[in-house]
Amino acid sequence: MRIRQILGLAVLIALIGGAGPAVADEDAPSADEAKARLKEAYELGADDAIVEAIEYGRGLNDPDVVALIADGMRVKNAAVVEASLKALGRSPHPDALEALHKVYKRVRKKRIDGYEHLFPVLLKSIGRHGDPSSVEILSDAIWFHPSFEAFLARIMGLGNIRTPEAVEALVKMSRQAGGRGVTGVRVSWREPLRVAFRSAMATLTGQDEGLVPDDWDRWWRDHKKDLVVSSARPKVPEGVSTQFEGYWGEPYYDP
């Protein structure tokens, strides 16, 4: 019952926070307009205006827009920083992911009062890119800034990177978090994180070994030498695709 409740909540999140209806081409934001709005907002210094300008430029494949959005992470306002992180996560330009990686390396060991809740947002934005270069970061030092949201972001982010290295990183993370001679994650986190782990592994491999980490560990030992991760997401059980769609707010299967 708890698993069904978790998955149902994921669907609700997707419905509430999804991308929404498509925007007509003539109303699509332009890079020049986005740059003008961002520069004006920064000069004005109003946090609400900066957030609005960042959201206007979100998703544009323009290096100047990306650089201006990244400047939002220097503003001493949590809402602006969050908007910047989320926008960089949705930008297709490679400079956006590079900026996110730099932020991670800067804050991974630091305690930043008032901004702790943004660490999972940073991890999720990195994972949204699905880039192989992020495997090391998403599997790095999982006990820095530990929270349920951070563990979930690491698991789902790795599940969005379609390489054997991501599968290996997930297995190793499961061993660390599962208590094989180490502390392990909180008991209350284990069931929903196992649901996420199953979804991530099934999304990458097309297999379904269920919710028991040891079963996946055994599967990995038997298949790691010849594992090939396809570029396309495989057909998976409905619960897996629901978990993916609820977390990322986008369809699991290509339309």
**Chain segment 65-115, per-residue pLDDT in tens:** 999 999 999 999 999 999 999 999 999 999 999 999 999 999 988 877 778
pLDDT number for residue 183: 53
162 or 179, which is more confident: 162
Question: What's the CA gap between 156 and 184, in Å, rounded?
Answer: 18
- Average pLDDT value for the chain: 88
Nearest to 166 by CA among 230, 116, 98: 230
Confidence at residue 109, expressed as pLDDT on a 0 to 100 scale: 83
pLDDT in tens, 109-137: 887 777 889 999 999 999 999 999 999 99
Give one DSSP letter per residue of 217-228, joined into a string: HHHHHHHTTT--
Q: What is the pLDDT of residue 133?
A: 98
Closest residue by Cα to residue 36 from 64, 58, 63: 64
**Nearest one of 63, 108, 53, 112 to 84, comparing CA atoms:** 53
